[in-house]
C-alpha cells in the first residue's frame, strides 16, 4: 500500500518522500479507519486526503469552509493532471448543475464543497448518485463550538455521511485543536482516539516575541525599515488602524500593501497580488487577510494589537516561515487593547455562555503576554502538548535576567485582594497597595486595611504588572465579565500558606561577574 502511495507522490507531485505524519495518516485512511490528522499549517495536510483520493475508486468529497481556497486547490490539482472541481455559492446554478452532472458520471477524483451545501436534502440526494469512498473534512475544528471558528453547517456532516449509501470513511484535518476540540472532532465524526495522527504543533523555525514598548508605532517603523527587503505581514485589529498605518508608512517612503473587509473586492485582489508577487514586501491587514494564502517566504508577522485568542494568534503568526526558514513573530502588547477586545466580545455574542468562553480565551491570550517562561512552550501547552521543552530562542528564553524570589511581595498582593473581598479589578488593588489617596478608597475604607500602602515604594503601574504576572502564572484568577474581578486561586492560596514560592525575572538587568576558574 505504501509503495503505491509513494508512487503517486512521485508521479503526480514530484516529491521524493512523505513528511512527518503524512505516511501514517494515509495508511490509516487506506486501511479503512476514520482518521483525524492534526498538523501545523504548512505541514502538508492536503496530500493526506489527495493521495488516498487517487488510490481509491470513486470521488473523494472534500468539505472546506474557504471558498477562495477551494478554487486555488482545484486549480493546483488540475495543473498536476488530477481531475477535480468545486461547488460553492460563487457559481451560477447552471454551472453547479453541469458540474454535478459530470460528478455523477464519476469524472472527478475530488469534489470540493462548502459545508452549507449539506443543509439541502436535495443535494445529499444527488451526492448519493456518486460513488464516494472518502469524505475529507478540512479545517475540522470548525465542527466544535469550543473552537474559535465554529460553523453550524459542519454539524450536518455526520448526518450526510449516514445518508450516503457508499458508506464513506472520514478523514478530518486541522492545524489548531485544543484537547477539547480534538475530542469534539472525534466524537462527532466517529473517529476512535487511537486513529488520530498528530505531528505536534511545534514550528521550530518560528521565534516568538512579545514587546511592551510604549511607542508601538516607532517600534514598527524601525523594524520594518530594518527588514525592508523581507516579506512581512502586520496585523492590526480594525480597518481604521490598517488605513492609518498604511498611510503613515507610505508617508515615510515604505512600499506597503493593505487589505481589509472595507475595500472593494477588486482592490483587495489587487493588493493581495502585489504582495504575493513580491512587488511589495509588506502587507498591512486585518485578520480578513491570509486564509488560504500560500506564500512561503514570509519572514515576519507582527501583531500590532493583541488578537482575541491563542488560536487566531497562532494561525496568523504561523503564516510566517512556511518555507521552514527562520522567521519572527512579534506581538506588540498594549494594555488598552484588551478593553477593545473585551468590548468586541460582549458586543458580538448574545449568548452568555459563549461570551464567557471567549473572555476566558482572551484571558489566556493576555497571559501569554505576561509570562516569563518560554513563549513557544506556552503555545504548545495551550494546544495540549505535555511538558514541552523551552525553545531557547523566543524573547523570553533569550531574556537572560536572573529570576528572583518574590514570594513576599506576592503574598502582600494576594492577601490585600482577600482583605478587599475579592470584588475588584487590577487598578483598585494596585491603588490600595501603593497607598493611593483616592476618594473611592476612602469611601470603601480600604485605607484602614493592614495591607494599605504595603507596596508604596512601587508605582501602581509596577504593581499592575506584578498582578498581570501572578495572573499569567495562575496565582490570580479573573472572572469573565465586562468588569473583570480578580480572585485568589487555589494555587495562590498555597502561596499565602508558604507552600509555594514565586520567582520572577527582575526588571533590572543584573550583571553577573563571571569568575574564571581556569
**Which of 17/490 has CB closer to ligand ADP?**
17
The enclosing H or E element of 137 equals strand 134-137
Spell out the SS3 assignment of 443-509.
HCCHHHCCCCCCCCCCCHHHHHHHHHHHHHCCCEEECCCCCCCEEECHHHHHHHCCCCCCEEECCCC
In 202-264, alpha helices (H): 216-226, 239-251
Residue 394 interacts, among ligand ADP, Zn ion, none and using kind-specific CB cut-offs from 5 to 8 Å, with: Zn ion
Q: From CA 171, how far away is CA 166, in angstroms rounded?
A: 15
Q: What share of the chain is helix, strand, coil (3-state, %, to 5)?
A: 45, 15, 40
> Phi, psi (5° rounding) for residue 302?
-110, 130
Is 46 near ligand ADP (CB under 6 A)? Answer: yes
**Which of 41/472 has CB closer to ligand ADP?**
41
The enclosing H or E element of 61 equals strand 60-63
Nearest-approach distance from CB 396 to Zn ion, in angstroms: 6
**Which of 173/454 has CB closer to ligand ADP?**
173
Interface with ligand ADP: number of residues (CB under 6 A): 12
**Which of 110/338 has CB closer to ligand ADP?**
110
**Which of 322/504 has CB closer to ligand ADP?**
322
**Which of 395/484 has CB closer to Zn ion?**
395
**Which of 6/239 has CB closer to ligand ADP?**
6
Q: Are strands 403-405 and 476-478 parallel, antiparallel or unpaired?
A: unpaired
Nearest-approach distance from CB 205 to ligand ADP, in angstroms: 14
Residue 81 CB-density burial (10 A; 0-12 exposed, 13-18 middle, 19+ buried): exposed
Instruction: Pick one of 34, 41, 64, 480: the residue that binds ligand ADP (CB under 6 A).
Output: 41
Q: From CA 315, how far away is CA 277, in angstroms rounded?
A: 22
Q: Which stretch binds ligand ADP (CB under 6 A): 45-53, 156-164, 471-479, 509-517?
A: 45-53
Q: How far apart are the first and last CA of the chain?
A: 61
Sorted by sequence, the CB contacts under 8 Å of residue 101 that are 6+ apart come out as none
Q: Which stretch binds ligand ADP (CB under 6 A): 41-49, 87-95, 153-161, 389-397?
A: 41-49
Residue 41 interacts, among Zn ion, ligand ADP, none and using kind-specific CB cut-offs from 5 to 8 Å, with: ligand ADP
Nearest-approach distance from CB 398 to Zn ion, in angstroms: 8
Q: Which of positions 9-38 make contact with ligand ADP (CB under 6 A)?
A: 15, 18-19, 22
Residues lying near Zn ion in the complex (CB under 5 A): 374, 376, 390-391, 394, 397
Residue 43 interacts, among Zn ion, ligand ADP, none and using kind-specific CB cut-offs from 5 to 8 Å, with: ligand ADP
Give me the residues that bind ligand ADP (CB under 6 A), please.
15, 18-19, 22, 39, 41-47
Amino acid at each position: 500500500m505504501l509503495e503505491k502511495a509513494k508512487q503517486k507522490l512521485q508521479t503526480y507531485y514530484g516529491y521524493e518522500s512523505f513528511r512527518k505524519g503524512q505516511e501514517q495518516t494515509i495508511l490509516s485512511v487506506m486501511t479503512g479507519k476514520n482518521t483525524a490528522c492534526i498538523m501545523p499549517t504548512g505541514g502538508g495536510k492536503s496530500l493526506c486526503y489527495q493521495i488516498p483520493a487517487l488510490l481509491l475508486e470513486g470521488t473523494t468529497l472534500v468539505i472546506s469552509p474557504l471558498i477562495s481556497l477551494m478554487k486555488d486547490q482545484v486549480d493546483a490539482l488540475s495543473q498536476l493532471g488530477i481531475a477535480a472541481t468545486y461547488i460553492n455559492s460563487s457559481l451560477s446554478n447552471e454551472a453547479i448543475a453541469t458540474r454535478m452532472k459530470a460528478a455523477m458520471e464519476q469524472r472527478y477524483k475530488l469534489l470540493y464543497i462548502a459545508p452549507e451545501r449539506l443543509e439541502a436534502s436535495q443535494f445529499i440526494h444527488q451526492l448519493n448518485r456518486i460513488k464516494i469512498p472518502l469524505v475529507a473534512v478540512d479545517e475540522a475544528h470548525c465542527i466544535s463550538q469550543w473552537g474559535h471558528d465554529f460553523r453550524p453547517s459542519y454539524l450536518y456532516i455526520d448526518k450526510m455521511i449516514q445518508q450516503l449509501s457508499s458508506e464513506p470513511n472520514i478523514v478530518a484535518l486541522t492545524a489548531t485543536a485544543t484537547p477539547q476540540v480534538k475530542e469534539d472532532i472525534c466524537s462527532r465524526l466517529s473517529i476512535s482516539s487511537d486513529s488520530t495522527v498528530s505531528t505536534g504543533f511545534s514550528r521550530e523555525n518560528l521565534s516568538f516575541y512579545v514587546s511592551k514598548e510604549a511607542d508601538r508605532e516607532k517600534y514598527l517603523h524601525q523594524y520594518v525599515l530594518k527588514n525592508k527587503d523581507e516579506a512581512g505581514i502586520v496585523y492590526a485589529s480594525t480597518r481604521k488602524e490598517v488605513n492609518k498605518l498604511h498611510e503613515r508608512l507610505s508617508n515615510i517612503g515604505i512600499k506597503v500593501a493593505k487589505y481589509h473587509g472595507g475595500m472593494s473586492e477588486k482592490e483587495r485582489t489587487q493588493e493581495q497580488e502585489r504582495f504575493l508577487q513580491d512587488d511589495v514586501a509588506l502587507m498591512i491587514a486585518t485578520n480578513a487577510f491570509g486564509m488560504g494564502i500560500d506564500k512561503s517566504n514570509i519572514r515576519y508577522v507582527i501583531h500590532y494589537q493583541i488578537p482575541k485568542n491563542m488560536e487566531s494568534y497562532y494561525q496568523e503568526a504561523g503564516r510566517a516561515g512556511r518555507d521552514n526558514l527562520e522567521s519572527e513573530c512579534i506581538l506588540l502588547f498594549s494594555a488598552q487593547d484588551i478593553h477593545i477586545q473585551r468590548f468586541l466580545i460582549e458586543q458580538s455574542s448574545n449568548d452568555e455562555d459563549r461570551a464567557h468562553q471567549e473572555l476566558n480565551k482572551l484571558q489566556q491570550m493576555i497571559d501569554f503576554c505576561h509570562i516569563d517562561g518560554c513563549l513557544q512552550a506556552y503555545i504548545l501547552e495551550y494546544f495540549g502538548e505535555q511538558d514541552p521543552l523551552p525553545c531557547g530562542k523566543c524573547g523570553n528564553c533569550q531574556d537572560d535576567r536572573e529570576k528572583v524570589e518574590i514570594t513576599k511581595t506576592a503574598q502582600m498582593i494576594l492577601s490585600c485582594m482577600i482583605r478587599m473581598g475579592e470584588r475588584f479589578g487590577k487598578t483598585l488593588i494596585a491603588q490600595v497597595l501603593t497607598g493611593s489617596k483616592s476618594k473611592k478608597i476612602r469611601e470603601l475604607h480600604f485605607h484602614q486595611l493592614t495591607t494599605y500602602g504595603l507596596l508604596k515604594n512601587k508605582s501602581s503601574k509596577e504593581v499592575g504588572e506584578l498582578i498581570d504576572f501572578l495572573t499569567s502564572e495562575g496565582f490570580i484568577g479573573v472572572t469573565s465579565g465586562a468588569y473583570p474581578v480578580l480572585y485568589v486561586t487555589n494555587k495562590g492560596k498555597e502561596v499565602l500558606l508558604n507552600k509555594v514560592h514565586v520567582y520572577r525575572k527582575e526588571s533590572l538587568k543584573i550583571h553577573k561577574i563571571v569568575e574564571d576558574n581556569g
